[in-house]
Chains A and B, each alone.
Chain A
Amino acid sequence: KAGVTQTPRYLIKTRGQQVTLSCSPISGHRSVSWYQQTPGQGLQFLFEYFSETQRNKGNFPGRFSGRQFSNSRSEMNVSTLELGDSALYLCASSLELGYGEQYFGPGTRLTVT
């Protein structure tokens, strides 16, 4: 089975812009979670989607949002980018809602200038 894929792999944006990141889960996996990884804060949970609904949310401002499509693919959006949003954004998929056994993608490296 193909693993979790994320596009694009690298992105450079300017402060104030918005960005959309995409994630395709492993075939048959119905839950998608997003994490932000930074050197200072480490890996932090953003949100979890299942059946096209956000089921779980971390402590991030409303500028961070996401959605899931009927084929389980997911996107996350960050509006009004700030310098501090520069990070590696990881997507992870799991079979069902609430599974801690998650399969991670390679990440999207976002740089905000």
Chain B
Amino acid sequence: AQRVTQPEKLLSVFKGAPVELKCNYSYSGSPELFWYVQYSRQRLQLLLRHISRESIKGFTADLNKGETSFHLKKPFAQEEDSAMYYCALTGGGTSYGKLTFGQGTILTVHP
């Protein structure tokens, strides 16, 4: 079974501070990991995926297979980063298109 755990329901930081949103997963094969974000009154959208190794809006995430983690990091948080963040994975084979989401972390960046 595939599972994604985001241990923090709420995370508050001040503008300019570093931020890390934690994500741990369990999957027996080689999953593909994603971070999705939902800003206030907007639809859920892809932020980044581990295979692209891109930095989007200053965010990065490294897949650590040993620790089965995919934490999202940004060195200097901005107020516009306030949103709900979801970590998600897909597996291989027939389940490849099925996104399994974590419960989400609400990030609030204070001025």
Interface residues of A (CB under 8 A from B): 3-4, 31, 33, 35, 42-45, 48, 50, 55-56, 58, 90, 92, 94, 97-107
A interface footprint on B78-111 (CB within 8 Å = 1, 0 otherwise): 0000000010111000111111111110000000
Is A45 a contact partner of B100 (Cβ separation < 8 A)? yes
B32 at the interface (CB under 8 A from A): yes
The docked-state distance in angstroms from the alpha carbon of A60 to that of B32 is: 24
The docked-state distance in angstroms from the alpha carbon of A33 to that of B96 is: 12
The docked-state distance in angstroms from the alpha carbon of A92 to that of B86 is: 15
Is A100 a contact partner of B99 (Cβ separation < 8 A)? yes
Give the total number of A-B pairs whose CB atoms are below 8 A apart.
61
Shortest CB–CB separation between residue A91 and chain B, in angstroms? 10
Is B101 a contact partner of A56 (Cβ separation < 8 A)? no
Is A98 a contact partner of B97 (Cβ separation < 8 A)? yes
B44 at the interface (CB under 8 A from A): yes
Q: What residues of B have a CB within 8 angstroms of the CB of A43 in the complex?
A: 86, 99, 101, 104
Is B101 a contact partner of A100 (Cβ separation < 8 A)? no
* Given A42-B101, A43-B86, A43-B101, CB of A98 within 8 Å of CB of B96: yes
The docked-state distance in angstroms from the alpha carbon of A97 to that of B94 is: 10
The docked-state distance in angstroms from the alpha carbon of A111 to that of B86 is: 24
Give 18 pairs: A residue, B residue, CB < 8 Å, sorted on A: A31-B97, A33-B97, A35-B99, A42-B103, A43-B86, A45-B100, A50-B97, A56-B97, A92-B99, A97-B96, A97-B97, A99-B96, A100-B88, A100-B89, A100-B99, A102-B46, A102-B99, A103-B45
Is B97 a contact partner of A106 (Cβ separation < 8 A)? no
Is B44 a contact partner of A104 (Cβ separation < 8 A)? yes
Is A101 a contact partner of B46 (Cβ separation < 8 A)? yes
The docked-state distance in angstroms from the alpha carbon of A44 to that of B104 is: 12
- Among A43, A55, A58, residue most surrounded by chain B Cβ atoms (within 10 Å): A43
